[in-house]
Structure 1
């Protein structure tokens, strides 16, 4: 059964993540700044590789932008005027000031305007996985789900106005595809609208245009959603995908946002078919949100028994006795050569039954006894299965590789 506390309820990601050595923290680093341990880094790396592939096939180009910039950049973007309370204090740099970016969008706006653009160049989709810095109050920080330096799966699409609906549709398709592959369900959609405070750009016509455009996409897709005033970004409305943790806390994981404000502030332009200068629309989007919040949610929903493609260790090789150690080592080499994450749990770690129980969350256990070693076989047990199936080594390796590459669902941990 899934990991749970004494009452049978799921264990929260903060406790389970530390129990499984996925991440940690240290007062010398500071609150809200967790570090990733090898097992957690393996999960994160798998997600990053997956997202890069998904974005590549969807026509995104990858970029990198600096985490620091001069104060003037964030004056133009509007962050200092509308978002200052969530930003870290400026860093003196001679007569100038440098600021840790609270978002990646200003840097991507500069990349867009670094050369002239034609209507034929659009939509231009720029993706980056990079850190941003939010001065979150210490009272709201929690494990991986609320941190001060999230690593964001971010992208900005620069589109003609007539392309906006199709691009938003395509982003929602990517989100739904990623959620299926990651095993995420139970999420809901929210249309996040303008508020009344001076946090929001004061341009009613701009807000009307953006809110109507996003609502039209949601309605056309037949998605149920709630509208929430005061939840939009300071520059425009957004569609947020909401998740809930085991304690009932709701947060935003994925988002797609319309921005007519920053293109105007940065004087972004493209030439239309008649060579007239026009302003693009900037679509901010994140398919899976920050790596921290996503992995926190994956810990919550899988309770440490991750799908094979995400699991920190995908196969544990278990020789029954010392005589089978050479065969176990040869199998480990085959698994590593197949780019699988594998290790050996030898007889020095206890009885076979004890080793199986202690690795119940691992997707595959490969048991090698005397008969298997002599015949070139391995007894392959998938998580949740009560039996080992003797297979030729090559067949067993291919089976695991297929499960990983296909991102197939597996049974939860048992025992």
Structure 2
């Protein structure tokens, strides 16, 4: 498959793997790290503006915490074995929800504090079998765009609706392509926490939010989390396989297990509902999909290198280096390339899917001009270098899928 992310990711120097590190533990190379950092920063700011408070929590926890959350009983087969340190048994976390539940519990909470939206882009680990690992789509080390909303039950529907709106905004900016929605429900014979009444309420809340948002979806029995039903946003890879990318889950189970409470307006103690959500899923699976959707030609705003500056001859080397430095100072990811013939350098930049190539020859250099060549083959007339920087910066700032306004 020409767009297979495993091939493109290596050809474009986005990620790699090494047997000394191990299967399912990808190494993000500078190009992939630059693109990922830009996406992470965007998601962070999107969440901040939507009222989320960001936290950090450790990728380890005591086994006892996962026994309380229900993960140890229901999810142990997917967890790495405990590590004994003195009298403690520490476990690499398979999810962040227990840590976030304890962050909620760390302070007394009032109804005035709610909804409390806690977000983290954190590391977690799954003991996936070797046979199911593949590229970035299925890994053992996962950087998840995660968040948990704690709210009274009567606020849960509005919170789910807000998450659906944020998801759509993020998906559009990322250029994710077509998605489908699935309501993942309990199936027969599975391991599930909580009582039937809470499962029914959770399902009703999710169905209501999907209906109000006019989103078509399919029911999927047996695909729920052990603590509650969920909305899964699915994408398809070139082979036609569907992958869950984003998710929203309603959880009555863990607030009960961790004895989470808030003071209500009536002066009594109440149990919050916990809404789990991820706008874009893990960075690994997200980029596996984005590489394939864009065939490695990312939108300008998260392209690893946005501008390659090529002097036509050695006499323009200083002008090219100066222009690249100005572009870097303006916030662009730019580089100047001097070695090799001009034809070879153009072909290399095109092969790397760089959106803009800035050509500086004997006609451009004396007047501080640059001729932009676009990734799609279009060429612009020479323009002032400051104008070229402003053009590229405006496209990036708008998070446009196009190369020109």
Structure 1 length as normaliser, TM-score? Answer: 0.95
2:196 to 189, 204, 208: 204
The whole-number CA distance in structure 2 between the counterparts of 1:370 and 1:68 is: 59
| 1:146 and 2:116 correspond | no
| 1:357 and 2:347 correspond | yes
The whole-number CA distance in structure 1 between the counterparts of 2:194 and 2:158 is: 27
Give 1:389 deviation, angstroms.
Answer: 2.0
Contact 1:367 1:379 in 2 (8 A): yes
CA displacement, residues 207-259 of structure 1 (integer Å, 9 cap, x when unaligned): 11101110111112111100001101000000000011111121100000000
Structure 1 stretches of 5 or more lacking a match? 1-8
RMSD: 1.2
Matches within 5 A, 1:72-221: 72-201=64-193, 203-221=195-213
Query: SS of the counterpart of 2:125?
Result: coil
1:61 to 41, 53, 58: 53
CA displacement, residues 167-187 of structure 1 (integer Å, 9 cap, x when unaligned): 000101111001110111211
Matches within 5 A, 1:374-385: 374-385=366-377
Query: Would you say how many aligned residue pairs link Structure 1 and Structure 2?
Result: 402
Contact 1:381 1:389 in 2 (8 A): no
Give 1:102 deviation, angstroms.
Answer: 0.6
CA displacement, residues 49-70 of structure 1 (integer Å, 9 cap, x when unaligned): 1101100100000001111111
2:26 to 34, 39, 46: 34
The whole-number CA distance in structure 1 between the counterparts of 2:205 and 2:117 is: 19
Contact 1:237 1:257 in 2 (8 A): yes
Give 1:204 deviation, angstroms.
Answer: 1.3
Match of residue 330 from structure 2: 338
Contact 1:10 1:246 in 2 (8 A): no
Contact 2:59 2:92 in 1 (8 A): yes
| 1:392 and 2:378 correspond | no
Match of residue 269 from structure 1: 261
The whole-number CA distance in structure 2 between the counterparts of 1:364 and 1:59 is: 36
Match of residue 240 from structure 2: 248
Query: SS of the counterpart of 1:131?
Result: strand
Structure 2 length as normaliser, TM-score? Answer: 0.97
Structure 2 stretches of 5 or more lacking a match? none
Greater Cα shift, 188-197 or 402-411: 402-411
